[in-house]
Chain A
Amino acid sequence: KAGVTQTPRYLIKTRGQQVTLSCSPISGHRSVSWYQQTPGQGLQFLFEYFSETQRNKGNFPGRFSGRQFSNSRSEMNVSTLELGDSALYLCASSLVAGATGELFFGEGSRLTVL
């Protein structure tokens, strides 16, 4: 079956701009979570969505937001980009909510902020 698809794979933005990243989960998976991966901080939890509802949010500023659609596809948005937002953004889908089931990760969207 098709895996988790993230788009775009690579993007370059400048400070102050905003960006929207998209994630299509595995068919049938209703839970989507987002993580930021950087060399210094590793993987850090951004948020989790299940059935269009945000179930939890990590310790990130309000510039980071997300949503989930009725077809389980999810988007995350980062506004007023800062240099420190440069990272690999990973989306993961799961059959069940709560990070108790197996997470299937996409290949990520690599964001570079100049």
Chain B
Amino acid sequence: TQLLEQSPQFLSIQEGENLTVYCNSSSVFSSLQWYRQEPGEGPVLLVTVVTGGEVKKLKRLTFQFGDARKDSSLHITAAQPGDTGLYLCAGAGAGGTSYGKLTFGQGTILTVHP
């Protein structure tokens, strides 16, 4: 069974601070996706990382996939109140019983105070 451990579970920071969310597993994933979910809505894809060591930037958000494709991180620079939400990492299995299935981390609830 593939598991993704996401930390921290809760993060409450002031506007302008930097933060990092981690996603770790003992399993290898073919790709890893990061989603953001707001109350009353479904998750929205932020980025997909596929190659070990890959780094992707989306404005103030930086995503990294570990060399062994078992872990990932999301770093937000100069957080803003609009960044508030639930951040989820999700790994796509390589096949077999993992086909078509995303394994989600527990999520990180981020609150950015003005």
Please determine whether A45 and B99 come into contact, CB atoms closer than 8 angstroms.
Answer: no
The prevalent SS among residues of A at the interface is: strand
Partner of A99, one of B40, B42, B88, B92: B92
Is A33 a contact of B100 with CB atoms below 8 Å? Answer: yes
Stretch at the interface among A14-22, A48-56, A72-80: A48-56
Give the complex CA separation of A11 and B35 in angstroms.
26
Instruction: Give Cα A97 to B100, complex, Å.
Output: 6
- B101 and A43 form a contact (CB under 8 A): no
Q: Is A86 at the interface (CB under 8 A from chain B)?
A: no
Whether B48 pairs with A98 at a CB distance below 8 angstroms is no
Check if A100 sits within 8 Å of B42, measured CB to CB.
no
Looking at the complex, which one of B42, B44, B99, B105 makes contact with A42 (CB distance below 8 Å)? B105
Closest Cβ of chain A: how far from B107's Cβ, in Å?
6
Given contacts A42-B107, A100-B30, contact A4 B42 (CB under 8 A): yes
Q: Name B residues whose Cβ lies closer than 8 Å to a Cβ of A.
A: 30-31, 33, 35, 40-45, 48, 88, 90, 92-93, 97-107
Interfacial residues, chain A to chain B (CB-CB below 8 A): 4, 31, 33, 35, 42-45, 48, 50, 55-56, 58, 90, 92, 97-100, 102-108
